[in-house]
Amino acid sequence: MRDVQLGPRPSFRARSGFSPMVQVIMTQSAVATAHPRNTLATEILSNLRQFPHCILLTRVGQFYESYFDQAKEVARLLSIKLTQRTWDGQRIWMCGFPLLHLDKYLKVLVQNHKRFVAMCEEFPRNPQLGAKGGFDRRVARIVTPGTLIDEPFLNPYENNYLLAISRPQSGLASAQSVPSEHVGLAWIDVSTGEFFTKAIPVEGLRDELVRISPREVVLSERPDANLDDPINSVIEEEGLFMSYCSMPVPADVSAPASVPEGTDDVISHLERESREASVVTEPEARAISLLTAFMQANLLDHMPMLSSPSRETTSGRMQIDSHTIRALEIREGLGDGGATGSLLSVVKRTATSGGTRLLARWLCSPSTSLPEINARQSLVAFFHSRPHLREDLVQDLGEIEDTTRIVQRFLLGRGQPSDLAAIKNTIQTWAGIKGRVALERNMEVRERGVIDEDEWSSIDALMHGMHNLDHLVGMIEKAMPGADDVDGTTSGASSLGEGEDVGGADYRPPSLLQAAQGTVSVKHTIAPRFSPELSSLHDTLQTLHGRRAALERRLQFEYNAPSLTLRSSPGYGMHVHVARGKRDSMKLKASEQFVPIAESASTNAFFFKDWSTLGANIMDTLTAIDIAEREVFETLRGEVNAHARQLRSNARILDELDVTLAFATLATEINLVRPTLTEDISYHVTNGRHPTVELGLLTSGRNFVPNTVSFAPDSRLHVITGPNMAGKSTFLRQTALIAILAQSGSFVPADAAQIGIVDRVFSRVGAKDDLFHNRSTFMVEMLETSEILRRATPRSLVIMDEVGRGTTVDDGLAIAFAAVHHLVSVNRCRALFATHFHELADMLDSSEDNRGRDAFAAVSFFCTDVDETEDGYFSYSHRMRPGVNRDSHGLKVAQLAGLPPSAVNVAQTALSWLKAKRARRTIATNASNV
């Protein structure tokens, strides 16, 4: 194995409440002073030395156990009992838990405490190779936050990404003309096999981290503690878990043979399969090498052959920076940090876990390709106009298992018979979906005489892209005719149950001893007549069981012992059991053929040679059946692996089908309209609505007030004024969300919409302080403003709220004016600028110096207002209208918030004094000018 230096770097996640991580390592002194000489102790000590950065859990029968000084830490973390045991006269610490509780405690160690856990499993020795029975133990896998495979606590609706980042290499030439200051990203969801790469400037790393949302980040080396490392700083600020791995020999992307083991498939097939470019860039190749080295060091027995990565480029996707993803609550709400209140939670109508994961990716990274967007929207329109077809397909999709993760389990060597059954059922459901679509086409031909081929083009393209896998279904059905009834806990050869395939034994069906005595009904996974070998073995087993039954009846009759049974147990082996000891055992005790081995007040056990010989023959036959069944299962597993590419391709098609069906369902439920996307920089939305706010209002019986926005070359920037709580921030956010939904392929909440492709969305809304990094609210606001002014392009959409509010009025007004000036004259982008500085309108209209009105011809003014009745009651109109509102009505909001009347009166007096003072100053200035 490569020289891989692993282990979590001390860090913490302030947002999630994680305390600083303390690496759990068995000290050298503890290992050196403990020298029990038994086999188990020797194996444990060896593994502790080999994996010092990990918590070691060792499988011992039906338990996972921890020993020596490390057991103290494990017991504390898991809140389980710490005890001691004696090995070779030495008292050593130990703790453990039942096998059935592994998932529970693994979640605590890996997800909650961010520890690496080395899983030392038992592997049955193969009697065909001359082994005498028993188990061998070895570490089959190291579990880390980013390398989860099929653990039950893995969220089925979210990707669990492992991200590797290659650092910039100063002066390193790039054959692909990527600047040396770029970093390479390579990220994979080990549980699904989804694999991506991208090369980005260092300053764009934070945005990618928030968008990808990895569970673990791998770097090639620890930075010098005395140096300020920008990459580590960004990762720490985002609260992400970091690990380190030594970088393999740099890969030469022009020479596929030099790529690290496990990535040959990536480079050799990249030219054919990459969507964006013919080869990966040098930074990406180094990131792939780093990612692969880390996976090899931790997945061990479960290391898969990586598929070709999908290359991402900034040109094909809308760029949404980290502040905007959070501020717009695209994936997570601002309340508790969960999905509640997010755009994802509101639009989610997907029926599959894979579709939900794809939906999240589309929302966080919308397309900028007009053909791609139109293809998605054509599918949505197709299903929107065919509600019966839509309902049928959604019902079918609801029956599909998470195929992508199931296939990945097989590729990782962990597939089970229940997974084969799931694959068979899924393939049959796919065929049913294709059949239902074909039926819809035939029905329309009969009803209309002709169909619109353009309307059907998108769905036809999807259906034609699906691979026919009926032959795989046939193989599974032949081998496993009862596959639909296979329990998820059934092994590859359920009659044996003495261990699992590579990776450890998570389950153990009825023992061979029970099967041999016939006290349990063994449920065989593979059909008894599947092959001549199995057929012959099952015939032999049936004959032997017949002989056992006949022997039992003969003994009962000859020895007048009705309670006599032929049994087997781990303690006594094959033995004769008598329940009514005194009466039924009298003749047995008198016979030399029966050797007493146990006796109690009510039962007796005897050794009987004929039964021992027969029982051994039954055991041998059961073992042979198990081996034959495992061979058949391995053949089926190989077939799944051989068809993994086609299975994954079909699964991706069904994920896209699921998302577009969900968009169509959403459009029907909340009255969405298909937007028109163009290549210009227009943006015209009639009566647009905020999807999340509208849903919240509807649940409380209130209606949302829609608003219209229209950008044009002579109206690129809109300054929005108005009172607090009158909807300015909502209007800003809905404008950005409508663009994101449109370019994701969804219909949008509006009466009509025409949107020019947006390359980037920026927001400066809802700033709060960051005291941990010594940043005040105003500093955070300025940092976000700086990012926007430096990065926005003419195709960007910018929303900015209350710029300049965190300082003095004059300073804030000057900064707000400068921001508007830059957006209009330099960025020249579409922008909404909400402010309470109504004086900004006067400055923009002024003809003094370089602030002439001609310089701001593309600026328009809109506002919200308050509707007030004669008796003093008021309400917010929430409706945008042209103009400037010079009254924020802050005191009215204070009254609504329950400010004491006396305080409101004082505020009213102070406001009147300030207005009078301002008026006197204005009169004096005018007089002076005269």
Give the helix ranges, DSSP H, for 559-608: 581-584, 586-590
pLDDT given for residue 448 in this prediction: 86
Number of structural domains the chain divides into? 6
CATH of the domain at 247: 3.30.420.110
Residue 358's pLDDT band, with cuts at 50, 70 and 90, is: very high
**Is 777:806 a contact under the CB 8 Å cutoff?**
yes
Residues 401, 428: Cα–Cα separation, whole Å: 12
Residue 272 has pLDDT above 70, yes or no: no
Asked if the model's pLDDT at residue 276 lies above 70, the reply is no
Is 168 contained in some domain?
Answer: yes
3-state secondary structure of 264: helix
* 351, 401 contact by CB (below 8 A): no
Displacement of CA 790 from its chain's centroid (Å): 32
What the block records as the tokens of 103 is: 């998932």
Instruction: Check which CATH number belongs to the domain holding 862 and give it.
Output: 3.40.50.300
Return the ∠ at Cα 108 (arms to 103 and 112), rounded to 5°.
Answer: 135
Longest Cα–Cα distance of the chain, Å, equals 137
Residues 763, 834: contact at Cβ < 8 Å? Answer: no
Question: Contact at 8 Å (CB) between 625 and 495?
Answer: yes
Both tokens of 594, joined, read 């029966």
Query: What CATH number is associated with residue 123?
Result: 3.40.1170.10
The answer to whether the CB of 279 falls within 8 A of the CB of 176 is yes
Quick one: 652 and 675 in the same domain?
A: no
**Confidence band for 184, pLDDT divided at 50, 70 and 90:** very high
Structure token digits, residue 46:
């060896």
Residue-level pLDDT at 642: 94
Beta bridge partners of 874: 868
Helix segments in 96-163, DSSP class H: 102-106
Residues 832 and 783 in one domain: yes
Return the pLDDT at 473.
94
Q: Are residues 194 and 136 in the same domain?
A: no
pLDDT in tens, 209-221: 999 999 999 998 7
pLDDT digits (tens, 9 = 90+) for 869-902: 667 677 778 889 998 888 777 777 777 777 888 8
Q: Return d(Cα 302, Cα 268) in angstroms, integer.
A: 22
* Across 797-824, average pLDDT: 88
Q: What is the 3-state secondary structure (H, E, C) of 502-557?
A: CCCCCCCCCCHHHHHHCCCCCCCCCCCCCCHHHHHHHHHHHHHHHHHHHHHHHHHH
- Strands of the sheet with 195-201, listed across from one edge: 242-244, 216-219, 161-166, 182-189, 195-201, 310-311
In a domain, 167, yes or no: yes
Are 662 and 682 found together in one domain? Answer: no
786 is a domain residue: yes
156 lies in a domain? no
Domain that holds residue 659: 369-469+643-666
Which CA distances in Å does 682 have to 118, 286, 795? 56, 41, 9
Least confident range from 449-458, 538-547, 828-837: namely 449-458
What's the pLDDT at 829?
Answer: 94
**Is 780 domain-assigned?**
yes
Give the burial class of 329: count Cβ atoms within 10 A of its Cβ; 0-12 exposed, 13-18 middle, 19 or more buried. Answer: buried
Q: Which of 73, 108, 143 is the last residue of a domain?
A: 143
Query: 645 pLDDT exceeds 60?
Result: yes
Nearest alpha carbon to residue 384 among 423, 414, 358, 349: 349
Which of 115, 143, 171 is the last residue in one of the domains? 143
734 and 794 share one domain: yes
Same-domain pairing of 847 and 745:
yes
Taking only the tens place, the pLDDT of each residue in 553-593 is: 999 999 888 989 999 887 888 999 998 766 777 888 888 89
The dihedral built from the CA positions of residue 535, 541, 545 and 550, taken in this order, carries a sign that is positive
- Kindly state whether residues 280 and 167 are assigned to the same domain: yes
Categorize the per-residue pLDDT at 16 as very low, low, confident or very high, splitting at 50, 70 and 90: very low
Q: Is residue 355 part of a domain?
A: no
Q: Give yes or no for residue 17 having a pLDDT over 80.
A: no
Closest CA to 285 of 255, 241, 324, 244: 255
Question: Are 726 and 888 within 8 A, CB to CB?
Answer: no
User: How confident is the model at residue 117, as a pLDDT?
Assistant: 96
Query: What is the pTM (predicted TM-score) of this model?
Result: 0.83
Residue 586 domain flag: yes
Question: Which CATH number fits the domain that encloses residue 528?
Answer: 1.10.1420.10
Structure token digits, residue 529: 């007549």
The CA distances from residue 595 to 567, 598, 599, in Å, are: 15, 9, 11
Within a domain: 538: yes
657 in the same domain as 593: no
pLDDT value at residue 610? 94
pLDDT in tens, 656-669: 999 999 999 999 99
Asked if 718 contacts 856 with a C-beta cutoff of 8 angstroms, the reply is no
pLDDT for 513: 54
What pLDDT is recorded for position 805? 80
Report whether 364 contacts 372 (CB < 8 A).
no
Tell me what pLDDT residue 481 has: 83
Query: 495 with 622: CB under 8 angstroms?
Result: yes
Closest by CA position to 192, among listed 504, 662, 652, 660? 652
DSSP assignment letter at 367: B
Domain identity same for 730 and 868: yes
- To the nearest whole number, what is the mean pLDDT of the chain? 82
Q: How far apart are the first and last CA of the chain?
A: 88
Do 894 and 915 belong together in one domain?
no
Count of Cβ atoms closer than 10 Å to residue 237 Cβ: 15
pLDDT for position 250 = 52
Per-residue confidence band for 14, with pLDDT thresholds at 50, 70 and 90: very low
Same-domain status, 553 and 699: no
Cβ of 884: how many Cβ atoms within 10 Å?
Answer: 18
Same-domain pairing of 822 and 692: yes
User: Can you give the pLDDT at residue 348?
Assistant: 95
What the block records as the tokens of 252 is 């030469």
Task: Report CA Rg, the chain.
Answer: 35
Where b means 16+ CB within 10 Å and e means fewer, 752-775 reads ebbbbbbbbbbbbbbbeeeeeeeb
| 760-764 sheet: strands from edge to edge | 319-320, 760-764, 797-801, 830-834, 717-721, 859-863, 881-882
Nearest to 1 by CA among 246, 288, 219: 246
